[in-house]
Chains A and B, each alone.
Chain A
Amino acid sequence: MKGRKITIFRLLCLLVMAVIFMIAFNGFHIAFLIASLTSALLLGRIWCGYICPLGFYQELISLLRKKLRIPKIILPARMKIMLKPIRYIVLVGFIVGMVAIGTRPLIYIRPDKVFFDSALGITSIILLGAITGVCFLSERFFCRICPLGTARGFANKTSLAKIKKKGSACTHCRACLESCPMEINDIYLEREKENVTDSNCIYCMKCIEACPEKDALSFTVCSKTVLRSKRNIK
């Protein structure tokens, strides 16, 4: 239980935020979009890990899979390479849709409302069902192609929040790689650079929780260490 404190805190944050969104928002607000994107300038994709209701929905699906003891599917390297241009295409489509057609994606604020919408078209039902199915087998799959997440990801490298690695303390045990819901390889592969923050990182801290080496991984905000890996003796 000790090692999972951050995960429990994160899930509670997501639950509280989902409830707040349900009470406060009844439709899509541009203010929400602006707030979520400006937060990225300061703290990168932290919104995805601690606030996003759609992220919470995916976390719940993953929890259900874990409870049912169904193994997750790790995406093949070829597919990961394919996903990179796809998410930029989705982002362009999202911006064009917002500006030209005037689409307001309510799913980012109230996924519950979208799922129970009786006016939902067959295309939307198939799309939502397919995404739910893929998210069940692959943790946080939608976050990898999410247009808002991609936009926030640009700010991840320059944001104040950073994941740092002490190369000399790392024993390359793959614990960080296996625990990462976004399947980021860089934290495991990097041996020289200190800053290992990836544009896909949602700051879930699962890598820091899983790391068995003291001070090998740390999370810093404004160069101040907030969390660091501890020696796990089991």
Chain B
Amino acid sequence: MSIDYKFKQIILSIKLFVVRNKRRTIISLAIFTLLVLGAVIFCFANSDFVPAMLKNKTPDTTIILSFLPFVKILGIAVATVVFLSFLHKRQERNIPELQILLPKEVKKQ
């Protein structure tokens, strides 16, 4: 299959999707635009470092450092999710009604 043919196929499938789901496409595009706008405003509203960054007053390390607490929070959040998921899985295994659904181990002869 040539690249040209593949490319045309992709464009046609997108066109077909837009024609079939006109309303859905308009709404999702509107939401996407709003989200992008929100993100841009968010960046500029965060006046703590963005304008300074634009003026080249802040050294690069300050920008990296400002992200450090968020990275730490994310790390702890991921650890919590893993821990809670593990606990939940273990708890599910202990429910006698659900144990029936688990496959039985084959005894080695």
Contacts and interface: CB of A to CB of B under 8 A. Distances in A.
Interface of A: 1, 8, 12, 15, 18-19, 22-23, 26, 73, 112-113, 115-118, 120, 125-126, 128-130, 132-134, 136-137
Contact of A129 (B35, B48, B65, B72): B72
A112 B46 contact: yes
B79 A129 contact: yes
Interface stretch (B9-17, B52-60, B81-89, B99-107): B81-89
Contact of A19 (B41, B69, B73, B76): B41
Nearest to B66: A116
21 contacts: A1-B27, A12-B31, A19-B41, A22-B41, A23-B41, A73-B84, A113-B48, A115-B69, A115-B73, A117-B69, A118-B66, A118-B69, A129-B72, A129-B79, A132-B73, A132-B77, A133-B77, A133-B79, A133-B81, A136-B77, A136-B81
B7 interface: no
Interface of A is mostly: helix
Contact of B34 (A15, A117, A130, A137): A15
B76 A8 contact: no
A125 B72 contact: yes
Contacts of A129: 72-77, 79-80
A132 B34 CA distance: 25
Interface residues of B, number: 33
Contacts, number: 85
Given A117-B69, A118-B68, A133 B46 contact: no
A157 B99 CA distance: 42
B66 A73 contact: no
B80 A132 contact: yes
Nearest to A26: B47
Contacts of B76: 125-126, 128-130, 132-133
Contact of A125 (B27, B66, B69): B69
Contacts of A136: 77, 80-81
A12 B34 contact: yes
